[in-house]
Amino acid sequence: MRYHGVDGRRLGEVLRVRAISHLGVDVRVGMGPTITVAATASGQITAPGGVLAIAPEHAADWLAQLPVDALHGIGPRQAAALRDYGIHSVGLLAAVPPATVQRLLGGRAGRIAADRARGIDPRPVVPRALPASATVRHTFDRHTLDGAAVRAALLDLVVQLGVLLRSRDQAARALTLTLRFAGGTSWEKTRRLREASAHDEDLRSLAYQLMDAAGLQRGRLTGLALKGEDLIDAGQVAEQISLDHAREARLVAEAAMDRIRAKFGPTAVGPAATFPHAS
């Protein structure tokens, strides 16, 4: 939820689709309350790909019915040793006293196996800090000289970056604009915002300043990249009382557009200049 704004099963489905479309391979995605349950679940998917989610309240019963060699972390030799003593399922392994399992498999290995059979796995799943930067890119279909087209593409990148930052509850302290030219050369410049922001208005103003600083005349562009840098948690951004009613109205409209995009897709609403003209 922190990274992608969707539940685990939905994220697993997205990962499958992207792996197939970009790499031509399917993946098996297991989910559960612990690393062991999730890894064991992924191994129980018999198809080339799929998603299997085990609810926390069902984890113990689900593990109990599996063969002992299906438990994540149990190797072939350990499974053979357990079967020699009549322990054929994870449920039976969970019922055996841990001290007995330790005598069969060894001290540390036996303790781990006994715990995991009971659904106990103290290894933490620690979310990493959110990235310190975020980048959005646009590639032109052909070498572009048209200043209006370039400005529209930059505006679209500003909107994309703003939506991305707001969805992560982050704000940027600086922007970097990269221009790629025909022939393989590039231009890059970074400027800092007066104060950290994720609002389209602030990002757009600085992005246009960066574009103007490039001094483009007849440069043939092949692509643009806009990077938000030195990101911080949006909660750290100071909010001051504003007497600018026009800006407040734009921020209210921005929040409404974010809700529309969340419901109908990222291209449901946006600045008119970012949409292609009807022929």
Q: Identify the CATH number of the domain in which residue 183 sits.
A: 3.30.1490.100
- Is residue 123 domain-resident? no
Q: Are residues 172 and 40 in the same domain?
A: no
Residue 129 falls inside a structural domain = no
Q: Is 76:64 a contact under the CB 8 Å cutoff?
A: no
Task: Kindly state whether residues 57 and 152 are assigned to the same domain.
Answer: no
With tokens 């109908």, the residue in question is 264
Q: Quote the pLDDT of residue 2.
A: 61
CB–CB of 261/269 below 8 Å? yes
Same domain, 83 and 138: no
Assess contact for 189 and 212: CB atoms under 8 A.
no
Average pLDDT value over all residues in the chain: 88
Lowest mean pLDDT: which of 4-13, 68-77, 113-122, 206-215? Answer: 4-13
Sign of CA dihedral 148, 152, 157, 163: positive
Do 145 and 239 belong to one domain? yes
Domain at 80, CATH number: 1.10.150.20
Residue 178 has pLDDT above 90, yes or no: yes
Give per-residue burial for 154-193: e unless 16+ CB within 10 Å, then b: bbbbbbbbbbbbbebebbbbbbbbbbbeeeeeebeeeeeb
105 and 141 together in one domain: no
pLDDT at 279: 47
Residue 51's pLDDT band (boundaries 50, 70, 90)?
A: very high
Note whether residue 127 is domain-resident: no
Residues 44, 173, single domain; the answer is: no
On whether both 139 and 112 belong to a single domain, the answer is no
* Together in a domain, 96 and 154: no
CA distance 27 to 19: 7
Helices (H), the chain: 8-23, 35-43, 59-64, 76-84, 90-95, 98-105, 107-117, 147-167, 200-214, 245-264
Domain that holds residue 65: 8-117
Measured CA to CA, the distance from residue 270 to residue 72 in angstroms comes to 47
Position 128 in a domain:
no
Number of domains in the chain: 2
| 196 and 82 co-located in one domain | no
Domain final position from 67, 85, 117: 117
The Cα–Cα gap between 125 and 140 comes to: 41
172 shares a domain with 223: yes
Helices 76-84, 98-105: axis angle to 10 degrees equals: 120
Q: Mean per-residue pLDDT for 168-190? A: 92
> Is the same domain home to 187 and 254?
yes
* Residues 140, 261 share a domain: yes
Residue 197's SS3 state is strand
Please check the confidence at residue 84 and state whether its pLDDT lies above 70. yes
Q: Among 53, 84, 117, where does a domain finish?
A: 117
Which of 65, 88, 117 is the endpoint of a domain?
A: 117
Whether pTM > 0.95 for this model: the answer is no
Specify the DSSP class assigned to residue 132: S
Confirm whether 215 is domain-assigned: yes
**Phi and psi dihedrals of 28, rounded to 5?**
-105, 125
Residues 67-86 have a mean pLDDT of 91
Q: Which residues contact 75 (CB under 8 A, 6 or more apart)?
A: none
